[in-house]
Amino acid sequence: MNLPAAKTNAIILCADIGTSSLKAAFIDTGGKLFAFSRKAYAGAAPDCWRAAFFGALESIASQCPGRADAVVISGNGPTLVPVLADGTSAAPLYWFSVLGKAKAENGKVGNSKGFSVGPSLFLPNVLACKNHDPETFKKTKLFLSSQEWLSFSLGADPVTVLSQEAYRPFYWDEQQCEKAGLGMETFPPFTPMGSVIGGVRASAGVPASVQTVLPEGTPILAGGPDFIMALLGSAVIEPGMICDRAGSSEGINLCVDKTGFDRIRGISAEAGIRLLPHARKGLFNAGVVISESGFLFEKYRRDSGQADKPYGVLMEEIAADKTHPARAVLDVMAFQVKAALEKLHDTGLTPDSVQMVVSGGQAKSPRWNAMKAKKTGAVLLVPEIPDGELVGDAVLGALYLEAVRGRAGTPVRGDPPGVFPDPERLIESARRMVRIKERYEP
């Protein structure tokens, strides 16, 4: 397959680290998918992510010979990797840890003495490491999110990627760290998503088999958390728009403005709605997390001895057969989505009839999309590229490449390194990248 001319549509290598697999793709600055690969991993070590990344690159190289003009990596939620002083890494502190779950339930970060230190989504896991694995904590030089760690292993600087300024207190600050008894020295400096954080180094150990895809010097851009990238990659960037981020876990995410934020701020925790800043400055996300959604389906696959059967194939079989023994699993999943939509509707911020852009692995089954639309009463919109995190990565890559090289050979003024993407350019790039392919009516 021939790649686009460099002066028109450059290529972004996009990768996303999930809980159980890594996805990667070649997407150009016009939003066209040239190659895709998904590699599962069973281990919890960061090296499993790295091995899956290089395995995905080998698959991409076989599908689409050519080279990336930039690489953007996103990753799952507030997961942190302790990078030790000797250069090795300890097991990740996953977002679904015990203290992380407690934080999601009570809205507070507590240390071993039980007092609140603030809104941080990350410090609970750091405190868990300090209190329950003090040897690892003492050896830790840096805490990096999953995507920051993989970027760092390729040659990027150690940084903490910030989606927008409003997110600072949800990461960490001096006041929260002081109250928790934590120093700031293990937390890398903040940098805006989309900024250049380094380039692929010869010493990064990129296998020879994929060096043509990812050559030395390829710019590495700061990718955000998967949640933010999915919002960008589904173009859910205006108040009232909804994204159904449906993978192993699922989240129903409503974009709201400051008025909507103020309206539900007092009742959000009690109603099971998480309020966080959006990717766009001045906007917010009202989200309902469905933690078990896709896990229920995966459990059925394992328990029924069909773990090796492709996800889409099995989903189609179940959705097409009303007597299938796993039909009850899909019913539960659909009910959970409907309940989440009802929570958002009860706030008065959504109409009786809603439409959602579906992002993630679940979006790849037409029969399941049709079934979900019917059971939830929502109109489902499926983009041409349903992996929203990867498209979100491409949105950031396109902004950078067009600023540096120009689109269609015409120079474009871009944001200087270290500056958050201009909101209008962010919106324009997201809208251009996301094209709705299918629509499912209730």
Q: Express each pLDDT in 235-288 by its tens digit.
A: 999 999 999 998 877 899 999 999 999 999 988 888 899 999 999 889 999 999
Is residue 174 domain-shared with residue 266, that is, in the same domain?
no
Position 310 scores a pLDDT of: 79
Is residue 290 domain-shared with residue 219, that is, in the same domain?
no
Q: How far apart are CA 343 and CA 345, in angstroms?
A: 5
Q: Evaluate whether residue 156 is within a structural domain.
A: yes
Considering only residues 427 and 247, tell me which one the structure prediction assigns the higher pLDDT.
427
Domain count, the chain: 2
Indicate the pLDDT class of residue 414, thresholds 50, 70 and 90: low
Percent of all residues in the chain with a pLDDT value above 90, rounded to a whole number = 67
Q: Confirm if 429 and 393 have CB atoms less than 8 A apart.
A: no
Is residue 234 domain-shared with residue 357, that is, in the same domain?
yes
Q: Evaluate whether residue 405 is within a structural domain.
A: no
Q: Evaluate whether residue 408 is within a structural domain.
A: no
Q: Confirm if 25 and 390 have CB atoms less than 8 A apart.
A: yes
Give the residues across from 70 on adjacent strands: 12
Position 213 scores a pLDDT of: 93
Is residue 237 domain-shared with residue 211, that is, in the same domain?
no
Position 104 scores a pLDDT of: 43
Considering only residues 144 and 292, tell me which one the structure prediction assigns the higher pLDDT.
144
Q: How far apart are CA 386 and CA 23, in angstroms?
A: 12
Q: Confirm if 82 and 143 have CB atoms less than 8 A apart.
A: yes
Q: Which domain holds residue 251?
A: 228-387
Q: How far apart are CA 161 and CA 197, in angstroms?
A: 10
Position 319 scores a pLDDT of: 81
Q: Evaluate whether residue 392 is within a structural domain.
A: no
Amino acid (one-letter) located at 212: T
Q: How far apart are CA 152 and CA 210, in angstroms?
A: 18
pLDDT at residue 398 tops 70 = yes
Position 7 scores a pLDDT of: 44
Indicate the pLDDT class of residue 312, thresholds 50, 70 and 90: confident
Amino acid (one-letter) located at 192: P
Q: What is the average pLDDT value for the chain, to the nearest integer? A: 88
- Residue bearing tokens 């996301």: 434
Is residue 18 domain-shared with residue 121, that is, in the same domain?
yes
Is residue 218 domain-shared with residue 240, that is, in the same domain?
no
Is residue 214 domain-shared with residue 306, that is, in the same domain?
no
Is residue 217 domain-shared with residue 289, that is, in the same domain?
no
3-state secondary structure 128-147: HHHHHCHHHHHHEEEEEEHH
Is residue 174 domain-shared with residue 295, that is, in the same domain?
no
pLDDT at residue 100 tops 50 = no
Question: What count of other Cβ atoms lies within 10 Å of the Cβ of residue 441?
Answer: 11
The alpha carbon of residue 395 and the mean position of all alpha carbons in its chain are separated, in whole angstroms, by 13
pLDDT at residue 439 tops 80 = yes
Q: Evaluate whether residue 54 is within a structural domain.
A: yes
Q: How far apart are CA 185 and CA 274, in angstroms?
A: 29
Is residue 205 domain-shared with residue 235, that is, in the same domain?
no
Is residue 262 domain-shared with residue 204, that is, in the same domain?
no
pLDDT at residue 110 tops 50 = no
pLDDT tens for residues 169-213? 999 999 999 999 999 999 999 999 999 999 999 999 999 999 999
State residue 126 phi and psi, 5-degree precision. -65, -40
Q: How far apart are CA 398 and CA 346, in angstroms?
A: 38
- For the record, the structure tokens of 405 come out as 């090289």
- Comparing 41-45, 105-109, 403-407, which segment has the lowest mean pLDDT? 105-109
Q: Evaluate whether residue 420 is within a structural domain.
A: no
Is residue 324 domain-shared with residue 378, that is, in the same domain?
yes
Indicate the pLDDT class of residue 147, thresholds 50, 70 and 90: very high
Q: Evaluate whether residue 39 is within a structural domain.
A: yes
Q: Confirm if 15 and 23 have CB atoms less than 8 A apart.
A: yes
Residues in the chain: 442
Give 207's contacts (C-beta < 8 A, 6+ positions apart): 54, 58
Q: How far apart are CA 428 and CA 343, in angstroms?
A: 31
Of the three residues 170, 195, 224, the one that is the final residue of a domain is 224
Q: Evaluate whether residue 126 is within a structural domain.
A: yes
Of the three residues 174, 200, 224, the one that is the final residue of a domain is 224
Region 17-33 average pLDDT? 93
Which CATH number covers residue 166?
3.30.420.40
Position 256 scores a pLDDT of: 96
Indicate the pLDDT class of residue 293, thresholds 50, 70 and 90: confident
Give 276's contacts (C-beta < 8 A, 6+ positions apart): 167, 170, 284, 285, 287
Question: Percent helix, strand and coil across the chain, each rounded to 5?
Answer: 40, 20, 40
Q: Which alpha helices (H) appear in 234-387, and where do they start and end?
A: 258-264, 268-271, 293-303, 311-320, 327-346, 366-376
Of the three residues 181, 202, 224, the one that is the final residue of a domain is 224
Q: What is the pTM for the complete model shown? A: 0.90
Considering only residues 218 and 40, tell me which one the structure prediction assigns the higher pLDDT.
218
